Structure 1
């Protein structure tokens, strides 16, 4: 198998049939396109999600907190705390551990959550730090959202801009390489996007107005998120290419690495399906969160409309971030 998410067809054969015994307290179970489980606690539900960080070096700890908490917010739940499993390679220094924990602490304080526990060890099983974060949040039982509720006729909204996380990771981890290719100001702007990867307020604001489904745009980028939310909901989608919001610095970095921004990891951007598109956009903009209606939910078929033509949307084989990293490693080896 290739680097990145395991493809849906393999998950369906080798993962989803082996999930133990289903519990009646679990309201949302494991399934394709669902990043969170939801557990019944009376008037409230607990929402939990777990994600690893393997593609970022410089701000891995910071990213790990937001990536997991963003999943919880996509269910309309407010994050409460996070558990961290941190695996360090042999020979790691105490200063490395300190740097990771300081970045985790910084992210938690920005959100207002606690590190509830976890596990930390040095192991020969990894060659670079691997950070796995499990976020726990809460919502009213009548107020949580899933990825599986999109309905034909819904507007499809994207918040902020696609590719924020991938752009920031590439600019931070490969700063020297990019400074040889792009203006310094472009690289600086790209690095500053690390401050915009939270979709917690996006999710809570939208769910308060009324949404059918939400999905934070992570690995696989916009294309992956559209595929997952439509597959989970059993619907289709039509997306207008000229409406997709992309920052100039993201376009510039993607051109350097020759990668597709539509398939680049995009924490910081939420995909929202709702029958109240204009109301949701207005509420988000009142919170200074850019939001754009990029298309609509249909009965079947997944397409991007560009220059009067329809192009089918297929699930990306892997995130473009991995392709970019491989390209720069190959380039360094040649030198």
Structure 2
């Protein structure tokens, strides 16, 4: 198989039949489209998620914290802490180890989370650094949201813009290649998108303003997140391509590398469904966060209306656009 997420049909056959005992304390079990498990703790729920970072180099520690805690935010949960496993390739110098941990520490400080523990190892099993983080958070039982609550007729909202994380990774890791193809100012702006990777504020806003489902936009970009939220909710979804906001720097990088910005990893954006999308957009605006209604939840089918007004079906990308150039 190609690099990237394991396809849904393989998950159904080779992963999900093997999940051990189904415990009554678990309110949200493992399934396609749900990135978190939710466990009953009385008045509160404990929300857990785990994610590896394999497609970045320079900002890997920072991304590891945000990506795992963003999953918690998609459930309306507050991050409490993270546990981190870091695998370094043979020959890694101590300064590199310290640098990754400083990124993790500083990012955890930003979101008021504690590094609870983990494991660090030098191993010949990897050729580049791999960081896997498990995030632990909490939410009031009456307020948590899942990815599987979308209903036909709901508005589909995207926060910020598509392709944020992928743009920042490419601009940082391929900076030398981009010189001469983009201005220094464009490259710096693209690298700066790393500062907008957290979706914790919009997760809280969505949970308090009528969100029926939320999903942070990670591998597979907007198309992948839309597909997963619809699949988890057993509904359809129609997106309007002309309404999906994309930064000019993202468009330029995607043109240079022949990538689809709607299939590019986009941590920093949240996909939210709600019966009254304008209510959530107003709440986001009050917090200084951009929000755009980009489509509707339907009874069935996965469709996108292109910029010429032509409707076509869509499927999730076989792999994230980022893997085409790694």
TM-score (norm 1): 0.96
**Equivalences for 1:37-186 in 2 at 5 Å?**
37-186=37-186
The secondary structure found in structure 2 opposite 1:101 is helix
Distance 1:211 1:205 in 2: 9
Moved segments of 4+, more than 3 Å: none
Q: How many residues align?
A: 325
The secondary structure found in structure 1 opposite 2:250 is helix
Contact 1:47–1:137, Cα closer than 8 Å, also in 2? yes
Q: Name the counterpart of 2:30.
A: 30
Deviates more, 1:226-235 or 1:299-308: 299-308
Structure 1 residue 308, shift from structure 2 partner: 2.1
The secondary structure found in structure 1 opposite 2:325 is helix
Q: Structure 2, unaligned stretches of length 5 or more?
A: none
Structure 1 residue 142, shift from structure 2 partner: 1.1
**Per-residue CA distance 1:28-83 (angstroms, 9 max, x = gap):** 00000000000000110000000000000000000000000000000000111000
Q: Name the counterpart of 2:314.
A: 313
Structure 1 residue 140, shift from structure 2 partner: 0.6
**Per-residue CA distance 1:96-116 (angstroms, 9 max, x = gap):** 100000110111011011000
Structure 1 residue 169, shift from structure 2 partner: 0.2
**Per-residue CA distance 1:91-143 (angstroms, 9 max, x = gap):** 11100100000110111011011000111111111111100000111001111
Distance 1:128 1:302 in 2: 36
Distance 1:90 1:324 in 2: 24
RMSD, aligned α-carbons: 0.6
Distance 2:83 2:140 in 1: 22
Q: Structure 1, unaligned stretches of length 5 or more?
A: 326-335
Distance 2:143 2:23 in 1: 21
Structure 1 residue 324, shift from structure 2 partner: 2.2
Distance 2:264 2:179 in 1: 21
Q: Name the counterpart of 1:4.
A: 4
Contact 1:259–1:324, Cα closer than 8 Å, also in 2? no
Distance 2:37 2:185 in 1: 41
